[in-house]
Structure 1
Amino acid sequence: MADSMVDQALLETWNRRHAEAEDLGRVATVVEQNLHLVKPGVQALDLACGRGATALYMAAAGLDVTAWDLSPVAIQRLELAAAEQGLSIRTAVRDVIAAPPEPASFDLVLVSYFLERSLAPAIARALRPGGLLFYQTFSRAAVSDEGPRSEQYRLGDNELLDLFAMLKVRVYREERCLGDTSRGWRDLAMLVAERV
């Protein structure tokens, strides 16, 4: 009973955040910088998509996009935006922790600003051979206050490489607090990795 109350509270929190947000969010940098690695038409999953800025970006670029999120409010906002932009995106309200993607079901899986370490093997298995994982989220080595307060939801040093060691690294970036912290790509880690 306590678990369902926690889940309901979490859902209410996310529904409220998505309802109150002024926009659809921002496109994941890992996708903006690396989409050239993907052929148009591939089947892509935006896992825990939020309001769907990146799902819309991928669909506009010619990918066959599926987008899942726990929040019905987020999915509703994404569906409305997709209809307004004339884009086709398959959406579902889905608890990805309880129901991760099926093995070998996508050519690309995007995870952006979501960290559930126990899902890493299922996410890797969801890729078809030659498929790519695009992942970015917050690092514990931060120079700003952006992102979650709890270290549970932040990556340790090189943690993405460890979580997805079964995949072949194609792009990795984690600047941490090196050098001039007023410049560069800070507070985050990104990975593009291939299932070979």
Structure 2
Amino acid sequence: MREKWNQRYAEQDISKPSPASVLADYSYLLPATGLALDLACGLGGNAVYLARQRLDVTAWDISDVAIARLNSTAKTEGLLLRTQVRDVELQPPTPISFDVIVVSYFLSRSLFAPIAAALRPGGVLFYQTFGIEQPAGSSGSSNPQFRLQPNELIKVFSDLRVLVYRDEGLVGDSSQGLRNTVMLVAQKV
């Protein structure tokens, strides 16, 4: 698995890694201080964004190439963050560890419960990934195992307070809006 992701990240151009839309669009829901985790961070667009918001950031990914590139970006920008090459499915976050958790375009259903448990009281989860309903020619895996069912995030994170949920699916004019993507922002109360 690591080799697959190392190859993908070695070939990817990252002049500026960008944050997930769910994080950029709803950043006003971030706490002023706290410990944030970018889980399965890839090239670290979310981690960099969180560090710019002055949060204490940890970023994990299975790819040592992605982590090396993120470390280089952070050094260039003078940002402090902790990174770790880590298989999050084998080493999920520990309970009550983070004030913010961001997951973007990574789906491992076995991690839903550990992610919710890892939030501290008042902690906020930002989650964005592909939905099962997809317009023709859209990006992401065609394997339904790696796509969310309608309302799946609301159901699995039902113990959290939903602040934002967005899943437009194929309703209406699918050439407009944010299609092929599901977003959730939820808080542990």
Q: Distance in 1 between matches of 2:114 and 2:29?
A: 22
Looking at structure 1, the residues matched to 110 and 175 of structure 2 have their Cα atoms a distance apart, in angstroms, of 33
> CA offset at residue 92 of structure 1?
0.4
Distance 1:17 1:163 in 2: 30
Aligned ranges for residues 168-187 of structure 1 at < 5 Å?
168-187=161-180
Percent identity among equivalent residues?
Answer: 50
State the AA in 2 paired with 1:52.
G
Instruction: Give the drift of 1:180.
Output: 1.1
Aligned partners of 2:4, 2:164: CA distance in 1, in Å?
33
State the SS of the aligned residue for 1:180: coil
Of 32-41 and 125-134, more deviation after overlay is shown by 32-41
Report how far residue 148 of structure 1 moved.
1.0
TM-score (norm 2): 0.96
- 1-side partners of 2:107 and 2:17: how far apart? 18
Could you list the structure 1 runs, at least 4 aligned residues long, displaced by more than 3 angstroms after superposition: none
Richer in helix (by share): 1
TM-score (norm 1): 0.93
Bigger mean CA offset, 161-170 vs 171-180 = 161-170
Instruction: Kindly report the root-mean-square deviation, in angstroms, between the aligned alpha carbons of the 2 structures.
Output: 1.0
Q: Alignment partner of 1:62: what SS?
A: coil
Q: 1:18 aligns with which of 9, 12, 28?
A: 9
Offset at residue 25 of structure 1 (A): 4.2
Taking the aligned partners of 2:88 and 2:31, their CA distance within structure 1 comes to 26
Q: Which residue of 1 aligns with 2:181?
A: 188
Matched, 1:67 2:59: yes
- 1:146-195 Cα distance to aligned partner (Å, 9 max, x none): 01121100001111111211211110000000111111111010000111
Distance 1:145 1:184 in 2: 13
Q: Distance in 1 between matches of 2:142 and 2:167?
A: 19
In the TM superposition, what is the alpha-carbon distance from 1:41 to its structure 2 partner? 2.2
Q: SS at the partner of 2:101?
A: strand
Residue 14 of structure 1 aligns to a residue whose secondary structure is: helix
Deviation track 1:33-85 (CA, whole Å, cap 9, x = no partner) reads 11101122221000000010111011112111100000000000000000000
Please say if residues 45 and 110 of structure 1, whose CA atoms lie closer than 8 Å, have aligned partners that are also in contact: yes
Q: CA deviation at 1:124?
A: 0.1
Q: Provide, for residues 86-122 of structure 1, a one-character-per-residue CA deviation record: whole Å limited to 9, x for no partner.
A: 0001000011111101100000100100000011010
> What is the alpha-carbon distance in structure 1 between the residues aligned to residue 71 and residue 109 of structure 2?
28
Distance (whole Å) between structure 2 residues aligned to residue 39 and residue 189 of structure 1: 23
